[in-house]
Amino acid sequence: MIDLHTHLLPGVDDGSPSFDVSVPILERFAEQGVTTLVCTPHLEAGRAAQAPYARHRELLEELQRRAPAGLNLLLGWEIMLDSPGGDLTAPELTLGTSRALLVEFTRGGLPPGGTAELRRITRLGRTVVLAHPERYFGCTLDLVREWRRFGVVIQTDASVLMGRGTPSDFARDMLAEGLIDVLASDNHGDQRSLARAREWLLERGGEEQVDLLTHGNADCVLHDEDPIPVPPLSPGLLGRVKRLFGR
């Protein structure tokens, strides 16, 4: 598995506070089958020019030294699109050595001009990976379809698929329509993982979807290739999922 979105770089944001927290999580992830993990600390687009890349690179190198053998760590950011029109072309802002940017909107809802900003960033030659659209008030399946048509990669938080409430319902609706490209843990020094979502999908007959969602499309993103379309859930599987969650 490949995890594109984590907050395990210690002590830099609201994620893991220390190496003592991060390292056991990395060990657990490696045991579960994660081979590549991207540390994506929070960064506001308006402060991108001041991103503490050198310091974060030092922390990543130390974390890699303490990580289990066979687990490859990469550096990236989760960029809050707080101010439109910013320069996001610096190579230090991308996921690993790719041209992909992991971006997010505020929880308060989609801002006016949000779609235009995503389109603008793609025109800069960046692959936009939009983090957890299931969170954003005002997000619709039609909007997700529009974003994907001009190249936005949709990343959903794995744990949300197994939850309850509006974000989880919307995430499962996206899954049913084949609108999710990548799952990620968004681990903040806690118990969230890709492994549970992988098991959840396999238990419900999602063999076609699970490899693309937890490995194949993340690998495409990191190698600047177009993600492979994820098949929609079959009607039988969708019905079982909706019955499980009382829908």
pTM value is: 0.94
**Contact present, 120 and 160 (Cβ < 8 Å):** no
Q: Which two tokens stand for residue 207?
A: 């063999």
Q: What is the pLDDT of residue 123?
A: 97
Q: What is the pLDDT of residue 233?
A: 79
Average pLDDT by consecutive 10-residue portion of the chain (247 residues)? 98 98 98 98 97 98 98 98 94 98 90 96 97 96 98 98 95 96 98 97 92 98 98 66 47
Q: What is the pLDDT of residue 178?
A: 97
Classify domain 2-244 by CATH number: 3.20.20.140
Q: What is the pLDDT of residue 52?
A: 98
